Structure 1
Amino acid sequence: MPSFPARLGAFLTTGLLLGGPAFAQQPAGPLGLVPLPREVQTSTGAYALPQKISVYAAGPAAQNVAELLKGFLAPLGKTVALTTNRQAAQIRLLTAAATPGGPEGYELVVDKSGVSISAAGGAGLFYGSQTLLQLLPPTATAAARVPYVRIADEPAFKWRGGMLDVCRHFFPVSFVKKYIDFLAAYKLNTFHWHLTDDQGWRIEIKKYPKLTQISAFRKETLIGAQQTFKTPADFKYDGTPYGGFYTQDQIREVVAYAQKRYITVVPEIEMPGHSVAILAAYPELACKPGPYETWTMWGVIDDIVCPTEPTFTFFENVLAEVCTLFPGPYVHIGGDEAPKTRWKESAAVQEIMKKEGYTDVEKVQGWFNRRIEAFLTGKGKKMIGWDEILEGGIDDKATVMSWRGEKGGIEAAQHGNDVVMSPAGYLYLDAGQNPQIHSPNEPLMIGGYLPLEKVYGYNPLPKELTPAQQKHVLGPQANLWTEYIATPAKAEYMLFPRLLAVSEVAWTPAAKKNYADFLPRLGQQFARLDAHRINYRVPEPVGLDSLSAAKQSGKAVFTLRSLVPGAQIRYTLDGLMPDETTELYTKPLAVPQGKRLLVRAVTIAPNGRKSPPAELLVK
Structure 2
Amino acid sequence: MSYRLDLTVISQCEQQSRFGLTLHNLSDQALKNWSLHFTFARWIPVETLSSGQLEQLGSYCVLRPSQPETLAANGHFYTEFTLETTPFLLHDQGIQDAFINTAPDDHPVQPLPVEITSLSLLEPPVEQLSIPLPPAKDISLIPLPDSLIRLNGEFRLNAEVAVSVPTDLAAGCARWLQSELETLLHEDIQVAPQGQIRYHHDDTLAEGAYLLEVTPNTIWLRAGSTAGFTHATASLLQLIPTTPAHHVQASYLLPAVSISDQPNYSYRGMMVDCARHFHPVRRLKHLINQMARYKFNYLHWHLTDDEGWRLEIEAYPALTDIGAWRGPNEVLKPQFLNIDRRYGGYYTKVQVRELIAYAGDRGITLIPEIDIPGHCRAAIRSLPALLVDPEDRSQYRSMQCYPDNVLSPALPGTYTFLKTVLQEVCELFPGPYVHIGGDEVPEGAWSDSPASQALMAQYGYRDRLELQGHILQFAEEVLRSRGKRMMGWEEATEGNKISKQTVVLSWQSEEAGLTCARDGFDIIMQPGQYTYLDMAQGFSADEPGANWAGSLPLDTVYSYRPLASLEADDPVHQHILGIQAGLWSEHITTQSRFEYMIYPRLLAVAELCWTRPELRHWQDFKARLNGQLRYLDQVGINYRRCE
- TM-score, normalising length from structure 2? 0.73
1:299, distance to aligned residue in structure 2 (A): 5.5
Tell me what 1:410 maps to. 514
* Aligned partner letter, 1:423: P
Q: What secondary structure sits across from 1:345 in the alignment?
A: coil
- Kindly indicate whether structure 1 or structure 2 has the higher relative contact order, using CA contacts under 8 Å at least 6 residues apart: 2
Deviations 1:445-475 (A, max 9, x none): 5664100001111112443375322111110
Structure 2 counterpart of 1:70, from 167, 174, 178: 178
Deviations 1:23-77 (A, max 9, x none): xxxxx95411100001111123222234310222112232332222111112332
Tell me what 2:88 maps to. none
| Identity value in percent | 40
Structure 1 counterpart of 2:376, from 266, 275, 278: 275
Structure 1 counterpart of 2:602, from 488, 496, 499: 499
Q: What secondary structure sits across from 1:344 in the alignment?
A: coil
Tell me what 1:172 maps to. 280
Tell me what 2:190 maps to. 81
- Distance change in 2, residues 1:340/1:356 (3 Å): farther
Tell me what 2:388 maps to. 286
Q: What secondary structure sits across from 1:342 in the alignment?
A: coil
1:113, distance to aligned residue in structure 2 (A): 3.3
* Aligned partner letter, 1:459: R
- Distance change in 2, residues 1:486/1:297 (3 Å): farther
Which deviates further from its counterpart, 465-474 or 117-126? Answer: 465-474
Q: Is the 8 A contact 1:199 1:296 kept in 2?
A: no
* Aligned partner letter, 1:253: E
* Unpaired segments ≥5 residues, structure 2: 1-135, 329-333
Which deviates further from its counterpart, 505-514 or 527-536? Answer: 527-536
1:371, distance to aligned residue in structure 2 (A): 1.5
- Structure 1 distance, partners of 2:371, 2:258, is 46
Tell me what 1:488 maps to. 591
- Structure 1 distance, partners of 2:357, 2:392, is 39
Tell me what 2:199 maps to. 93
Structure 2 counterpart of 1:458, from 546, 560, 582: 560
Tell me what 2:454 maps to. 351
Tell me what 1:162 maps to. 270
Q: What secondary structure sits across from 1:400 in the alignment?
A: strand
- Structure 2 distance, partners of 1:477, 1:497, is 15
- Distance change in 2, residues 1:297/1:463 (3 Å): closer
Tell me what 2:260 maps to. 152
Structure 2 counterpart of 1:119, from 223, 247, 251: 223
- Structure 2 distance, partners of 1:536, 1:36, is 21
Tell me what 1:397 maps to. 501
Do structure 1's residue 248 and structure 2's residue 341 form an aligned pair? no
* Aligned partner letter, 1:252: R
1:341, distance to aligned residue in structure 2 (A): 1.9
* Aligned partner letter, 2:340: G
- Structure 2 distance, partners of 1:32, 1:348, is 61
Corresponding pairs, count:
490
Tell me what 1:313 maps to. 416
Tell me what 1:512 maps to. 615
Q: Is the 8 A contact 1:413 1:419 kept in 2?
A: yes
Structure 2 counterpart of 1:57, from 147, 151, 165: 165
For the aligned residues, what is the CA RMSD?
2.2
Tell me what 1:427 maps to. 531
- Structure 2 distance, partners of 1:354, 1:138, is 67
- Structure 2 distance, partners of 1:301, 1:478, is 30
* Unpaired segments ≥5 residues, structure 1: 1-27, 225-236, 541-619
Which deviates further from its counterpart, 134-143 or 400-409? Answer: 134-143
- Distance change in 2, residues 1:213/1:446 (3 Å): farther
1:223, distance to aligned residue in structure 2 (A): 5.5
Q: Is the 8 A contact 2:202 2:223 kept in 1?
A: yes
- Structure 1 distance, partners of 2:546, 2:514, is 30
- Structure 2 distance, partners of 1:245, 1:91, is 40
Deviations 1:396-439 (A, max 9, x none): 11110000102222122112211010001100000001212xx2
- Structure 1 distance, partners of 2:403, 2:139, is 50
Q: What secondary structure sits across from 1:265 in the alignment?
A: strand
1:108, distance to aligned residue in structure 2 (A): 0.7
* Aligned partner letter, 1:157: Y
Tell me what 1:617 maps to. none
- Distance change in 2, residues 1:494/1:362 (3 Å): same
Q: What secondary structure sits across from 2:322 in the alignment?
A: helix
- Distance change in 2, residues 1:506/1:345 (3 Å): same
Deviations 1:488-509 (A, max 9, x none): 2111000000000000000001
Structure 2 matches for 1:166-245, cutoff 5 A?
166-220=274-328, 221-222=334-335, 238-245=339-346
- Distance change in 2, residues 1:348/1:139 (3 Å): farther
- Distance change in 2, residues 1:443/1:409 (3 Å): closer
Q: What secondary structure sits across from 1:31 in the alignment?
A: coil
Q: Is the 8 A contact 1:173 1:250 kept in 2?
A: yes
Do structure 1's residue 333 and structure 2's residue 436 form an aligned pair? yes
- Structure 2 distance, partners of 1:445, 1:415, is 31
Q: Is the 8 A contact 1:39 1:151 kept in 2?
A: yes
Q: Is the 8 A contact 2:238 2:293 kept in 1?
A: no
Q: Is the 8 A contact 1:75 1:139 kept in 2?
A: no
* Aligned partner letter, 2:524: V
Q: What secondary structure sits across from 2:161 in the alignment?
A: strand
1:182, distance to aligned residue in structure 2 (A): 1.8
Q: Is the 8 A contact 2:388 2:408 kept in 1?
A: yes
1:127, distance to aligned residue in structure 2 (A): 1.2
Deviations 1:262-307 (A, max 9, x none): 111000001000001111112241344699xxx9995665531101
* Aligned partner letter, 2:554: L
- Structure 1 distance, partners of 2:161, 2:563, is 42
